[in-house]
Amino acid sequence: MPEAPLPEILDGLRWQAVLDRQANPACGGFLYAVTTQGVFCRPGCPARPPLRRNTRFFPDAPAAEAAGFRACKRCDPRGDRARLHAEAVAAACAMIEAAETIPSLEALAARAGYARHHFLRLFRDITGVTPRSYAEGVRARRLHAALAAGDRVAEAVAGAGFGSESRVYESPGRHLGMTPGAARRGGAGEVIHIAHADSAMGPLLVGATGAGICYIGFAEPPESLEGDLRARFPRARIAPAPDHLAASVQAIASFLAEPSAALALPLDLRGTAFQRRVWEALTRIPLGETRSYSGLAAELGQPAATRAVARACAQNPVALAVPCHRVVGASGDLTGYRWGVPRKAALLAGERRARGR
Helix (H, G, I), strand (E, B) or coil at 166: helix
Helix (H, G, I), strand (E, B) or coil at 316: coil
Count of CB atoms situated within 10 Å of the CB of 39: 21
Annotated catalytic residue, options 27, 41, 75, 313: 41
Helix (H, G, I), strand (E, B) or coil at 222: helix
Helix (H, G, I), strand (E, B) or coil at 208: strand
CB 282 within 8 A of CB 326: yes
Q: At 140, which amino acid appears?
A: A
What's the rounded Cα separation, in Å, for the pair 196 and 307? 33
Cα separations in angstroms, 342 against 90, 109, 255, 290, 333 = 36, 45, 16, 16, 12
What's the rounded Cα separation, in Å, for the pair 328 and 311? 13
| 268 DSSP 8-state letter | -
Cα separations in angstroms, 168 against 148, 171, 175, 238, 248 = 16, 6, 7, 27, 33
HSE-up of residue 218 (Cα within 13 Å, Cβ side): 25
Annotated catalytic residue, options 45, 75, 93, 324: 324
What's the rounded Cα separation, in Å, for the pair 158 and 152? 10
Cβ burial of 302 (10 Å; 0-12, 13-18, 19+) is: buried
Of 215, 217, 178, give the one whose Cα is nearest residue 340.
217
Q: At 118, which amino acid appears?
A: H
What's the rounded Cα separation, in Å, for the pair 310 and 297? 9
> Is 324 a residue of the active site?
yes
What's the rounded Cα separation, in Å, for the pair 336 and 305? 18
HSE-up of residue 223 (Cα within 13 Å, Cβ side): 0
Active site residues: 41, 324
